[in-house]
Structure 1
Amino acid sequence: MDELKRFRLALVAWAAGGARADAAAAVARELAGGGVRTIVLVEGSSDQVALEALATRHGRDLGAEGVAVVPLGGATNIGRFLDVCGPPGLGLPLAGLCDIGEERHFRRHLERVGLGSGLTHAGLETLGFQVCVADLEDELIRALGAEGVQQVIDAQGEMRPFRTFQGQPAQRERPVEHQLRRFMGTHSGRKALYAQALVAHLDLERVPQPLERLLTHV
């Protein structure tokens, strides 16, 4: 297991609290001292995959640069991770990515740990925390267009399952963009699969702004 993965696992265990927290904190502190310079907090693994894939397209290796992209396992966990990564814990520079529906959670906890006061949307961006509208999948679908996303689905050998999904009664009358977004969340691992595949097919002049700004910040 590489050290960056060990670092992420240690952060997760530390943030979870309980009997293992002290030992996990010691591991995280030791590994952070070995070269972690920035922690990027994202809601889920698909966000991590997308950011790392975009970095690769720009010729960057975030891990080698000391940038640890850490999935929270859900936006409501942001407070716990800020406690262990921010001023109360490791005190490392932070950045992040969230959905617009979770922006209030990020603002409240960033202010609670002393990383801002009366934060606005612009204030979050200045700190390095970007907000997707409505989420990263929606951003990527709009950037590629519905036809472009369907080409990616076809390349993954999943056009037939997508057509079956479109035919479901709950989906028939919905816009194709909504169908695409929902399809990506129907199976475990599918969001991450398409996060990587969609970023790989993006025109670099049309990268969603939250993703582009986050990569530029770190």
Structure 2
Amino acid sequence: MGPAPAAWAAGGAGAAAAATAARELAGDGVRTVVLVEGGSDRVALETLAARYGRDLGAEGVVVVPLGGATNIGRFLDVCGPAGLGLPVAGLYDIGEERHFRRHLERVGLGSGLTREGLGRLGFHVCVADLEDELIRALGAEGVREVIESQGETRPFRTFLGQPAQRERPVEHQLRRFLGTHSGRKALYARALAARLDLERVPRPLERLLAHV
């Protein structure tokens, strides 16, 4: 998705902005729009797709970060049945399920949607979030090895020395560390997805890629 659709859906106002967004997206040769909450979700999906030998862009599959789950409605208005009528799919955190359910129903893509119903539409849930899924799939030791490979062993040890972290389970420590500064989530989304055994890909990511 280019700048006009993204800017409009994230908060741009007016019919003219919506029309510009629609024209740009329609001209991109897009056949499916995958809506995800943030940039790290996009990085993980594109990294895994490449490992499966796929080029999502060449296939006409565009992965769009929403900039927050509450923006899902505006993106569906651009891409969904009342807009361009493009097939949509997505990935969401369990705590944001209500936003996805409500707006998918509002645009006519279902009614009384259950979690299973969302999955049939192509919208798949992360148990907590993307980082949680990747950490559980790779294991704590595997994640530590990735941190070491990124040259961040020392910052991680410093982080573990913080009083708030000392009594937490290691998985919680790792998940918190991955989000401690701007850019780290995307960095580790790519690194962890590149390290995964393809037989242990988290189910929501595997199912979403299979759907599109």
TM-score (norm 2): 0.96
Q: CA deviation at 1:187?
A: 0.7
* Residue 3 of structure 1: aligned partner: none
* Residue 209 of structure 1: aligned partner: 203
* Residue 191 of structure 1: aligned partner: 185
Aligned equivalents of 1:27 and 1:110: distance in 2?
A: 20
Q: Is the 8 A contact 2:22 2:83 kept in 1?
A: no
* Residue 19 of structure 2: aligned partner: 25
Aligned equivalents of 2:8 and 2:79: distance in 1?
A: 10
* Residue 98 of structure 2: aligned partner: 104
Q: Which consecutive residues of structure 1, in runs of 5 or more, have no partner in the other structure?
A: 1-6
RMSD over equivalenced CA pairs, Å: 1.3
Aligned equivalents of 2:157 and 2:66: distance in 1?
A: 32
Aligned equivalents of 1:131 and 1:150: distance in 2?
A: 25
SS in 2 for 1:98: strand
Equivalent of residue 54 in structure 2, options 54, 60, 71: 60
Q: Is the 8 A contact 1:87 1:114 kept in 2?
A: yes
Distance verdict in 2 for CA 1:27–1:76, change over 3 Å = closer
SS in 2 for 1:87: coil
Question: For structure 1, which segment, 8-17 or 116-125, has the greater mean C-alpha deviation from structure 2 after superposition?
Answer: 8-17
Q: Is the 8 A contact 2:31 2:87 kept in 1?
A: yes
Aligned equivalents of 1:30 and 1:157: distance in 2?
A: 41
Aligned positions of 1:115-134 closer than 5 A = 115-134=109-128
Q: Is the 8 A contact 1:40 1:69 kept in 2?
A: yes
Q: CA deviation at 1:24?
A: 5.6
Quick one: which amino acid aligns to residue 41 of structure 2? Answer: D
* Residue 146 of structure 1: aligned partner: 140
Aligned equivalents of 1:198 and 1:25: distance in 2?
A: 39
Instruction: Give the share of equivalent positions with the same residue, in percent.
Output: 82
Aligned equivalents of 2:28 and 2:34: distance in 1?
A: 17
TM-score (norm 1): 0.93
Q: Deviations over 1:108-164 (max 9, x none)?
A: 110001000000011000000000011110000000000000000000000110110
Distance verdict in 2 for CA 1:77–1:32, change over 3 Å = same
Distance verdict in 2 for CA 1:136–1:171, change over 3 Å = same
